[in-house]
A and B are shown apart, each in its own frame.
Chain A
Amino acid sequence: MDQSEQAFLRSVFLMEAWDAVGAMEGALGALSQAERPTIGDDHPLVMLSHKLQGAAAVQGLTDVAGLAAALEERVTKVVGVRTPALAPDVGDIVEAIKRSLDDVGRATSAGDGGSRRTAEASADDILDYFAAEAAEHLDTMTKCLLALEEAPSDGEIATLFRAVHTLKGAALTVGCRSIGELAHRIEDVIMAVRDGVVPLGPAVIEAVFAGTDALRLLLAQPEDETEHLATTRRHAEHTLVELLPATNGASPDAVPASVPVGETAPEPAPPVAPAEDVVPVAAPVLAPPDPARRPARRASIRVGVERLDSLMAVVGELVIARRGLEGRLAQIDQVADVLLASRKRLVQAVGDFERKYAYPQLRKVERAEDASSEFSELELDRYDDFNILARSLAEIAADVYEGRAELAGLVRTVRDDAAHIRRLTGELRAEVTHARMVPIGTLFARFARPVREAAKAAGRHVVLQTSGESAELDNAIIEQIADPMLHLVQNAVWHGIEPPAERERTGKPATGTVRLNARHRGSFVYVEVEDDGRGIDVEALKAGAVAKGLLGADAAAALAPEKALDLVFLPGLSTAGAVSLGAGRGVGMDVVRTNVSRLNGEIEVESQAGVGTRVTLKLPLTVVISDALLVRVGGETLAIPQPAIRRIVALREPDVQRVGGSEFLEVDGEWLDFLRLDAVLGLDARPVGRKTAALVLRAGGRSLVVTVDELLHKEEIVIKDLGAFLEGVGPFSGTTISGDGRLTLVLDPSALGAAARAGAGARTPAPPRRVEPASRGVVLLVDDSVSVRKVVGGMLARAGFTVHTAVDGADALEQLGERPVDAVVTDLELPRLNGYELVEAIRRRPATRALPVIVLSSRTGEKHVQAARRLGVSHHVTKPVSEATFVRLVASLLDAPRAVAAGENGHR
């Protein structure tokens, strides 16, 4: 067994041992407070000391085992003894066990395995911080180069030099030698430019740009330099070195000497080949690093010390508030003691009274002995037992009243404390949210280079202007809008800005402008991508939509220009007549809108022919915390992000219109898809006739109506990512934890909208027809297990089939009535309608009678197979399946195209 495994097992032991010690201390405390303590064979102290002794012995920890044995011996001595007196050193033994466990813990973490892991972890942390810092320096370098390209400036050269110099030092310090060395080459060139040795010209700018590109690639894969990357780096180094005069060639000794003051001096860099020794290499094509090969790296952001101080201040206040609350608990304990004492007095008074009056004989004797009987009532005030009881009860009542009043006061104070803590946790949440915020300028800076490259490739003169860079957004949002923004920016250059000659002909300056602007408004940031180009040709858009069958000619003619602009978001439709590969990064405007909608944002396009186009993204400040409406659907509580809720409408069932297999509801004169959430999510359907609520949701640039059983309340939720665990389960973006510890899934209206669109497809006359990608055929996969749906669905999708999934037989039948399907793959054991019933129903319907059906089940008995055969099942396949065989089987069934049309519309 190697050391890491040993450490793993030791950590398991330590975890259990500390659990046991904690429980022992609890048991000792309970014993000391018990009125009549007893220790039986199964007392926790007996069990735990024995268990700890055994576990420690197995681990070879003789000290701990010996101490646990000593404890067990002392405890077992008093087993069964009434009011046992534990040996006085029991507490000391428990303390000694804790000290020994501490020693074991320290020894474990100091071992090779532990220290190695710690070192690895800290190295990862350092690389994370370095990556964030290096990205900033590279952005600065790009900005300086673009400025220098426009006009040489000593200030820009100095800034560029500082950036590359610091980057080099940091890279060498954290051990990223190849980054450090390449930065060193750039630094040599910039230094030569600064000193007037090398003139600043296009060759220098290009070479340094190539160097920064290579640095970015290296930064993405600092630990795993591929051959392609190594070639790119060598080429960049070679280009840079060639710019330098021979005497100023690469000097390896300069590397450590130029580490910024105050930083740890790195190890000397290995010798770098001088200029004349560098073998010229062909310029490689710069390719983005392969994400699959990229080492997993946690995203990191830099947080200012002031912000951390604010966080700590709130944490400090929380600690104080917690102490205050603990003080209140002590006060409540005291009041409880007072009430307990009052109860005892009450029991005593009533007991005395009862004793006297329940036994009259005894009372007579007592009265006979009463010495005061020789006085008349006028001579001596007499307090008989009733007077005494009444007085005692009055006193006790007064004490109880006082206790209750004190308790009520404390409850009020605790409520105030709770409100205070709630406020503090709110502040803490806000601070953490702020800590995740980064200025959008960091994103804008990334587009300077692509604009330059795109303009060069497209033969345009373009200047990029930015404003509102200080507007802050959640880092997660920044990363998610980077690609869509890049697409918009490149679109603006390729399709928006006209060639210089054309611009001059129309009286515009030869150089076009692309503007990026950001501004805060409420809890949203509006980001604009604007150009002063030719604008979008609305008529060409309409014609394109009609030509592709996405829109009828009449509908196109009736479409108002501002509505027609929305056509740019249809899949497969270009924003310009001249579609160029230059702007195509595999992301269309439909994908841009989907990505924005996924963030609960919105996108809007405005355009004027000959004047320009503006695309505005409305983005929430953060995706981690959101206001949400909690709703009940089919017995489940779901959270719906508030920004996605357009309005809540009263629902009258008769208003819902059914067309084909779909339902629609008219809201504000517009017919919207109407979805019953319980059915969509496969949850228990609400009882018929029960009142429901309907919500109009924004879902990926369109609206749809969903019904829920009950509207609960609004809540600020913290969204937690469930990652792949949510895939295939339904239209959810994450989960949140409710006050009672339950998980509440967060609905993703965009995904719901996409599902509705997919379902709507051919059945609705009004919405544009969905365009199916080229496919080997459409397979409906029916299984109640999400795992099977994902695994088998993945196999088929990889093989080029379009896969739709259904969660049970009823769902499958419903889908068969709505969309064309070429084959069905179904499990036998399914909720609502089982596999046999499904096949029976398929064979009954004329439209689906000939549909090939494959049963995929773990039921392999002859009886099951025969029953399926009798119903006309094409093949019976046993789970689990071999991917190649299964795909071959499905393909063979679809060779002769046999499609089933939607509903009663006949064959496809």
Chain B
Amino acid sequence: MTLPRRDAAEARRAPSPVRPHVVFTSGGVPFAFDAAHARHVLRAAAGDEVRFLDQPYPLVDVRRAFGHPAGDAGFVVLVESRGRAGLQVDELRGIAAIDPGALAPLPAVYRGTERRWIAGLHPTDDGVTVVVRVAELLETLGAVP
């Protein structure tokens, strides 16, 4: 089953700024992205890509992409934006309501390409969730055709 697509203009008109975000962990760090980009969730799979509804989703090792120590992924989250990819993540934590307009900016000491794909930081009771921009992340990882 695919997640309902969200029309961008409709999303802009929606009165509530809070958006459901898929929260996952990689290397112990919680990350989140707008659930509108999530298409499907699979158990971790080996190989370079997975196919879903006849579409190929290149697998992306999120730990490696984010520079975390190597480890076993638990799930593959299929995402679509300008490109598509299967993000190999450690753990899926579920859905969290996050207001993209209220994110704390990334401190200036982060100066690399991560500034492009990190939308901001969302404080939680037990730490901080890093909110990523799926389109820019896929672009950085070369998953955009």
Give the B-binding residues of A (Cβ under 8 A): 1, 5-6, 8-9, 11-13, 15-16, 19-20, 22-23, 26-27, 42, 44, 47-48, 51, 54-55, 58, 634-636, 681-684, 720-725, 727-730, 732, 735, 737, 741-745, 783-791, 794, 807, 831
Q: Is the CB of B114 within 8 A of A785?
A: yes
Given contacts A47-B13, A743-B121, contact A831 B111 (CB under 8 A): yes
Contact between chains at B40 and A791 (CB < 8 Å) = no
The answer, yes or no, to whether B64 is at the interface (CB within 8 Å) is yes
What residues of chain B lie closer than 8 Å to A735, measured between beta carbons?
Answer: 107, 128
Closest residue of B by beta carbon distance from A44: B15
CB-nearest residue of chain A relative to B1? A1
Instruction: Evaluate contact between B10 and A728: CB separation under 8 angstroms.
Output: no
In the complex, which of the residues A1, A27, A681, A725 contacts B15, with contact meaning CB atoms closer than 8 Å? A27
Is B127 located at the chain interface by the 8 A CB criterion?
yes
Interface mask (B97-135 → A, CB under 8 Å = 1, otherwise 0): 100001011011111111000000101001110100000
Q: List 22 A-B contacts (CB under 8 A).
A: A1-B1, A11-B94, A11-B95, A12-B3, A16-B20, A19-B20, A19-B97, A23-B15, A23-B16, A47-B10, A58-B4, A636-B108, A636-B109, A682-B111, A683-B108, A723-B29, A723-B127, A724-B68, A742-B104, A788-B112, A790-B67, A831-B111
Q: Does chain A have a CB within 8 A of B28?
A: yes
Instruction: Tally inter-chain residue pairs, CB-CB below 8 A.
Output: 140
Q: Is B41 part of the binding interface, using a Cβ–Cβ cutoff of 8 Å?
A: yes
Interface string of B38-73 (1 = CB under 8 A from A): 101100000000000000000000001111110000
**A15-B20, A22-B16, A723-B29 are contacts. A786–B128 as well, Cβ < 8 Å?**
no
Closest residue on chain B to residue A18 by CB atoms: B97
Contact partner, B104, options A721, A725, A741, Cβ 8 Å: A741
- Pair B40/A724 contact, Cβ less than 8 Å: no
B residues whose Cβ falls under 8 Å from a Cβ of A:
1, 3-4, 10, 13-16, 18, 20, 27-29, 35, 38, 40-41, 64-69, 92, 94-95, 97, 102, 104-105, 107-114, 121, 123, 126-128, 130
A9-B1 contact, Cβ under 8 Å, with A743-B123, A786-B112: yes
Per the bound structure, the CA–CA distance linking A786 and B107 in Å amounts to 13
Q: Are B102 and A741 in contact (CB under 8 A)?
A: yes
Known: A11-B94, A787-B114. A743 touches B128 (CB 8 A): yes
Say yes or no: A730 contacts B20, CB within 8 Å: no
Contact (Cβ within 8 A) B127 A720? yes
| A292–B32 CA distance with the chains assembled, in angstroms | 26
Task: Chain A residues near B114: list those with CB within 8 A.
Answer: 785-787
Question: Chain A nearest CB: distance from B85 CB in Å?
Answer: 14
Q: Residue of B at shortest CB range from A27?
A: B15
From A1, A22, A725, contact of B130 by CB (8 A) = A725
Q: Is the CB of B123 within 8 A of A720?
A: yes
A-B pairs with lowest CB-CB distance, top 3 = A785-B112, A790-B67, A15-B20
Q: How far is the CB of A513 from chain B (nearest CB, A)?
A: 42
Residues of chain A lying within 8 A (CB to CB) of residue B40: 5
- Distance in Å: Cβ of A695 to nearest Cβ of chain B: 18
Question: Which residue from B38, B67, B105 sits with its C-beta under 8 Å from A786?
Answer: B67
Chain A contacts for B35, CB-based, 8 A: 12, 15
Specify which chain A residues have a CB less than 8 angstroms from the CB of B104 in the assembled complex: 737, 741-743
- With A725-B130, A727-B67, A787-B113 already in contact, the answer to whether A636 and B107 are too (CB < 8 A) is yes
- Chain B residues in 8 Å Cβ range of A6: 1
- State how many angstroms separate the Cβ of B26 from the closest Cβ of chain A: 8
- Would A784 and B112 be within 8 Å (CB), given that A27-B15, A636-B107, A737-B123 are in contact? yes
Query: Cα distance A42–B9 when bound, in Å?
Result: 11
- Residues on the A chain within 8 Å of B38, using CB: 12
Name the residue among B15, B69, B110, B111 with the largest chain A CB count within 10 angstroms.
B15
Tell me, in angstroms, the Cα distance from A51 to B67 when the chains sit together. 39
